[in-house]
Amino acid sequence: MINIKLFHFNELGTCCSVLWKEGNTRCAIVDPGMSDEEECRQLFGYLEENALDPEGILLTHGHFDHTWGVRALLARKAVPVYLDPADKDLADLGIRYFYKKPATPKEPPFPTVDVHGGEVLTVAGIPFQVISTPGHTPGGVCYYCEEEKLLLSGDTLFAGSIGRSDFPGGDYDSLIKSIMDRLMGLPADVDVIPGHGPRTTIGREAMTNPFLIPFNEPDEGIDWDRDGITFER
C-alpha cells in the first residue's frame, strides 16, 4: 500500500506529492513547488514528524512552479532529480523564463537524471512507469503506479481540463495526442493527481472532459436556411 500526502504550494497552487510505502521510511517527492521559507517548513516539518527520508525527486516537467523547491530539498540531502532532458533548459531558466525579469538573479542549475517514456523508475521501493506526454512542454511526462492505479499527471491532464499549450515549446496537437493515445487507454478507475486542482479519475475525464470530447460535425444533409438558421457567408 502506498501512502500519499499532498501539498499545494506557491501562488499557482502547484501540487507537490509525497509518496511512501506502508512501513517504509523512504519516500519519493513529486514536483516540489515550495516558493518560500514557510512552505519549505511545511514540507520539511511533515517529513520530520513522520520520519520520512526522501530518496528521489520526480519532476513532471521543467516549469518553475514545479521545480521551485528542488534546491531547498537538495540542500538538506543530495538525491537524484528525475527530469526528461527535453525540459532541462526550462528548469535551468526557472522563474526568469516566465516573468522575464532581467534583474532576477540566475540560480545555478541543479543536477538532473534523464528519464524517458517507457522506462520504469523505482524510488523508495515504488515503481513509477514513465509516460512521455509532450505538449504542455516538450519534455512533459506522467508517472504511473500500476499496482496502485495511480497517475501523477503534472500539467498534462487536469480535472475537467488540460494543460496550456500556448507557452513557448507547447503544442496543442501533441498534447491532445499524448492524452488520447497514452493516458485514456489506462483503466477507468485509475486515480489521477494533477499538477493543479482536485483529483480525478481516467474514467471521469474520458466521459466528461470537454477538451477530450470530439466535436460533432453538422449533418451535411440539413438545410440550415430552410430550418430558419441562417449563417453569413
Q: Tell me the Cα Rg of the chain.
A: 20
- Does residue 194 fall inside a structural domain? yes
More confident residue, 76 or 101: 76
The residue range of the domain holding 132 is: 2-212
SS3 29: strand
Q: For the chain, give the mean pLDDT.
A: 90
Beta pairing, strands 53-58 & 161-162: unpaired
- Does residue 226 fall inside a structural domain? no
pTM for the model stands at: 0.89
Cell 501562488, residue located: 11
Burial 155-166 (b: 16+ CB within 10 A, else e): bbbbbbbbbebe
Per-residue pLDDT at 229: 42
Task: State the DSSP string of 40-101.
Answer: HHHHHHHHHHTT-EEEEEE-S---HHHHTTHHHHHHH----EEE-GGGHHHHHHTTHHHH--
In the predicted model, what is the mean pLDDT of residues 205-220? Answer: 74
Statement: residue 107 has pLDDT above 80 = no
Per-residue pLDDT at 228: 45
- Does residue 233 fall inside a structural domain? no
- Does residue 232 fall inside a structural domain? no
Statement: residue 72 has pLDDT above 60 = yes
Statement: residue 227 has pLDDT above 90 = no
Residue 92's CATH number: 3.60.15.10
- Does residue 222 fall inside a structural domain? no
Per-residue pLDDT at 217: 43
Residues whose CB is less than 8 angstroms from the CB of residue 141 and which lie 6 or more positions away in sequence, other chains included: 60, 61, 84, 115, 117, 130, 131, 132, 133, 154
Burial 113-136 (b: 16+ CB within 10 A, else e): eebebeeebebbebebbbbbbbbb
User: What total number of domains does the chain contain?
Assistant: 1
**Model confidence band, residue 105 (pLDDT cutoffs 50, 70, 90):** low
More confident residue, 226 or 112: 112
In the predicted model, what is the mean pLDDT of residues 197-212? Answer: 96
Give the Cα separation of 39 and 10 in Å (integer): 8
In the predicted model, what is the mean pLDDT of residues 117-131? Answer: 98
- Does residue 207 fall inside a structural domain? yes
SS3 210: helix
- Does residue 220 fall inside a structural domain? no
User: In this structure, what are the phi and psi dihedrals at residue 62, rounded to the nearest 5 degrees?
Assistant: -100, 5
User: In percent, how much of the chain has pLDDT > 70?
Assistant: 87
Per-residue pLDDT at 81: 98
Statement: residue 174 has pLDDT above 60 = yes
In the predicted model, what is the mean pLDDT of residues 164-176? Answer: 94
Per-residue pLDDT at 226: 47
Per-residue pLDDT at 102: 52
Per-residue pLDDT at 178: 97
Per-residue pLDDT at 221: 52
Length, in residues, of the chain: 233
Statement: residue 233 has pLDDT above 50 = no
- Does residue 93 fall inside a structural domain? yes
Per-residue pLDDT at 94: 75
Statement: residue 215 has pLDDT above 70 = no
2-16, 88-102, 157-171, range with the lowest pLDDT? 88-102
